[in-house]
Structure formats: C-alpha cells, structure tokens
Structure 1
Amino acid sequence: MKLGSIDLPTDLILAPMMDTMTPSFRNLIMQQGGVGMIVTPMIFVQQVAAAPKTAIPHLEHIEKQKPSSVQIVASGRNPDHIKKALDFLSSYNFDVLDINGGCPAPHTMKSGGGGGLLRDFHRDKSITRLQNVVETCMKYSHVPVSLKTRLGYENETDILEISKKLEDSGILFLTLHGRTVSQKYRGTANHEIIRQVKEQLNIPIVGNGDVYDYQSYKKMKDQTNCDAVMIGRAAMSDPAVFSKIWQNQQAISKGEDEIMFPDYHDFDTIRQYLRMDDEFISNSSRFWNTDRFKVAELRRLTIWFIKGIPGYKRVREKISKIMDINEIRDYIYGQAIEDDFKQGQITHL
C-alpha cells in the first residue's frame, strides 16, 4: 500500500514504545512478518543537539529494519535544537521523520513536547509550539514528516480543529491515538472521532489504540476508514500479532474463513522467540551486547510472552528475581519453568 508517498508492504505499523521497542525486539517482530513499517522510540531533540551519540543505540540497525520511521520529541521553543538534531539524524537512511505530539508520560510532558503540545490548545486554543515543531521539521528534514498525536489534552473534539491546521502544514500523514492525553491508556479508543478526522482531511490517517488481533484491526478499519493501523502494546505479548492479522487479511480476501490462533504461546514458541532475540543482541554493539541488558531483555520478554497462561503470575514472580544471565537461561530453556507451571496445576501447553 502507499501511505502518502511511502510504499509499505502492509497497512500495519509498529508503534514507537519507549523502553520497549529496542532494536532486538523490533527485529524479532519483523522476523515474524506482516509489519508495514517500524517506528523508533522517541528521541528528544534537545538531548541529541547537545550529545548526538545518545541517539545512536536507538538507531542501531534502523537501516536494515525498513521501511522505518524515526520519532522525535520537541517543545517548539528552540528551532535550533531541532535543526541540530536533524543534521545528525540525516546521516541515517530511514523513510519518515515522525513528531510525537501526544505522549502522556510525565518526563515527555515535562520536556514541553508530546502531550504538552496539546495542553496549549486546552489552555488557550494555541498550537503555536506544535506548528513551530512541524514547520521546523518540514524545513530541515531530509525525509517526509508525519505526526503522531491524540484527540486532545482533555477534550476529545479538540483534534477536529487542530487537524485541519496540521494538514495545511504539509505533513505526510497523521497517526491518531483515539484517547486524550489525560486519559493515558484508560477507557477505550474513540473510533468515531478518528472517523470524523479522516472525513475532513485529505492526507492519510493511521488509527491507533486497542488493536490486538484481526477482529479489533477490522473494527478499527471499518469504523474509522483509516488508511493504516498502528499497534503497540499487543506486540509486547505477541511478536507475531502483525503476521496473524496479515494472514487473516489474505485469507479473507480469498474468501476463506478467518484463521483462529491459539490464545497462548507454547514453550517451544516462547523459547524460539527468546533465542532469536538473544542471538540478535549478541551481534549488536556493546551498548546492547552486555550481560546486564541480556538478563533484562530475557526477563521482560519471558514475562510478556507467558502472560495470560493460567498460573503465570507465580512464574513471573520467580523470573523477576533472577539477575544472572546463566541462571535465567538455564531456567527458561530447561525443564524448571515447565515444572513450575505444572506445580501450579496447569496443563502443559
């Protein structure tokens, strides 16, 4: 499909989740197939302008993980920070520069970027800082510019007015999370407002929020008429979520029945995912290729992958306490983890 001027293999985009979408985990997800484009976790332009090397770990392997988008956070108060950051980023080969205009995380809000840009409109109907960010990026970026935002700071209908001005700025497409900043991740994504934004704009719209399988993907597409769908949290527990949706896209288009996938991963699948991730880290730079990071990565991925399996809380508690790389590998790849599930009177998958 085409998203503006960008060719994508599918209409499914991996969300830029901070402290989650590491290069190794992005690679694991891409290895399963179905991903149309990946987006890096947000990079703060002020930090990059002062110390460009701080962005390098997040950009590692980005030129092989394509199509790709690099997301930045900026307050709009100092255009020179954006210019300096983009001068550095231009040395990398990626496809889209994405602006974070909606993140509700406290450290992002404190920086003046992310959801802080929508707070201005809530307070005094101003999007001056947001427009400054967009216009400066349009001026200095070597690739097309997109924006990811939310419905508003507190009011869901704010985006109806804001989005018209954003379209006039020349952005390639708009990714819209169907919640307000103040909602964070509570409640449900508002498909109706996304639909209204889609109807009033001529640029592509990417829908985001509460998509975790083919049915929720189809609901997002049908109810909003969006051009593509972004998925984040669902990929944490299931790296193959994009592949599964894509497989069902193909099946339905051929008139076949929807493919029903198991509710949980089996141990072989979990171990295969972990080995792929571990091997990728071993071929990465020393920033990632350390025992400390490997332990942290194996712990968190295992905890994500076993989530939902009856009795997983007991195993999760045990995994969370392991700090040694050899110990956690022995536990995950050996019989002990299966025995712990069995002791919890859980049927072996």
Structure 2
Amino acid sequence: MKRGGMVNNVAFSVLDVSPIVAGGTVADSLRNTLDLARHAEKWGYERFWLAEHHNSPSIASSATSVVIAHVAAGTSTIRVGSGGIMLPNHSSLVIAEQFGTLEALYPGRIDLGLGRAPGTDHLAAAALRGASGRDGHDFPEQLEELRAYFAGRMPVRAIPGEGTSVPIWLLGSSDFSARLAAELGLPFAFAGHFSPQQLMPALELYHRNFQPSRVLEEPYAMVAMNVILADTDEEAARLATSGQQLFLSFIRNKPGPLPPPVDSMEELWTEREKWALQQNLGGSIVGGPDTVRTKLEKLIRDTRANEIMAVAHIYDHQARLRSYELLADLAGLRKPAAGTVRD
C-alpha cells in the first residue's frame, strides 16, 4: 500500500456513540463498542471517545461516564474519554468527581472533552437541566468552575477530582468554543462530521488567536469527520447510506435506530432533504483506501489538523471494524512486527 504523505503525520482516533441498530439491543451496542475499542487499541489509534446524546433511539452512550469506564476497563493502553460531556447538562462538581474517579481507576488514559450544546432536543434538555435553566451562555464560567474543582480552589472539595490532571478539550460546531479554547490555550476539537460549513472559519479563528498556556505552547486541533471505508468506492458509498437515512429520520422528526444500508437514496429523499443532508454531511469522506487517502490529505492540508477523529455510522459491526482497520492501514498506524520491514 502507498505510504508517506500528510496522512501518516497526524494522529487518528475514534468517536463512537454506541449505535443502536435496527433489530439490535442496547446490550449489543455496548458489547460492540468495547469490541471496537479493543480493535482500535490493537490497530494503533490514539484515543477512543464516547459522545453524550439523549432521547435518541439510535444512541446508547447517553450515560457517557459509565460507558467510558466500561471501555477503559476492557482496554489497557488506548486513551478513553468524552467527545463530549455536555457541561451545561451537569453540575461541575459531579463531572469533577466522575472524571477524578475515572482518572484514579485508569491513570494517564482519560480525556475530558467538553461541549456546551444540550446534545438533544428542547424537551430533553429541559428535563436534564431542570431548575438551572442553563442554555450554554455561561459555559465559560462553568468551565472555570470545573477547573477550580480540579485545582482545589472551591469551598466544596471534589473528592475524587481535586488535584487530578485530566486533559480538558473544548469541543465545538461553531466559533464560540474555538475562540474560548484559543483564549485559554486548550486543545480544540471541531465537529466536522455534522457541521462542515463552519469547519474552516472555526479552525482559522483558533489558530489565529491561540494564546500559549501551561497546557499547550502551540495550538492543537482535532477534526471529527465521518470516515467510511470499504474495499471499493461502491461498497463504501452503500455503507454510508445508513448514516444518511439516520440523519433523514432526524430531519423528519421520526428518529429511529440505525437502519441497514440501501443501494440508493434517490427514492428515499426529496431534493430539499438531499440538500439539507449535504449541508450537514457534505464533509464526509467515503470510499476505498485510495479515494479516502486523497480526501484525507486535502482535509489535513486545509485544516492544519493535528489529529483526525473518525466517525463511522455503519450498520453491520463487522463492516464497521473493517472500515477502521482499512483506515489504520492507510494511515500507517499499526507497528510492524519485530523483524519485519514495512514498504
């Protein structure tokens, strides 16, 4: 396989939501998540993150800290974390305690990615946030409160949590968190898998305004992107229709589990719906290894990303494993066995 190039100079990671597939169960989803994490560790991925979403029949990772513990317990070296915890849904003290506990159990392997969106609809957000009525506008203040708990600067002590050095990442799909991450000198991860239109403006702002800190001397940018591989472009395009159908169900306000792939979407969507999907999923990188390599090279060059976090909404678990295996191979993630020579 062709080697070299920008693809081999960045880290690669996995973002998972423990997808619940049509005909499957939550238990199946959580078993598959751990199986994927174990393979990702073996294949050389940097980290494995779980995302907080609620009120969705296609996502089993809503109790994100619990699933992180499940994955970390079943692996040994890969970093495990949140992509992310939606901080306004929670008490800062509770998150400090949860991630302090995780870091104590799995030292040096836990990441805390934070977002300010609810990760759900308005009704579920109201149920989550209750009397606090938080809408994300005080996210900077809540972030500072969380960091103060970790630093032991609050009247109430976070135990576990106090004195814990869990890396904090800011996540975003617009320029708000990009600006805040730059101001605080924190690593920044952008949700290019569903907000590709804002990707370049947000990363340009982050790089331009970055202020060195005790955490980072230089900016560190991660791009989350839908990346789906198969042995051929045609098979990868077919696999990608599961995620397209899922997004279509959100547009129609009829969410369901992740559906099996179809041969063509043309009879399933209207022209308006097709346009809406393109606005949100248009950055997706889908194809065989050569096609994906070319697209990834352009993405890395354009964004100056230090790391790519691949998202793959694939119905069949074995096909999902194969997609991540092909990505690991084209990125040169796997270390050659002792005594072998890699071409």
TM-score (norm 2): 0.50
| Structure 1 length-normalised TM | 0.49
Q: Which has the higher contact order (CA 8 A, sep 6+)?
A: 2
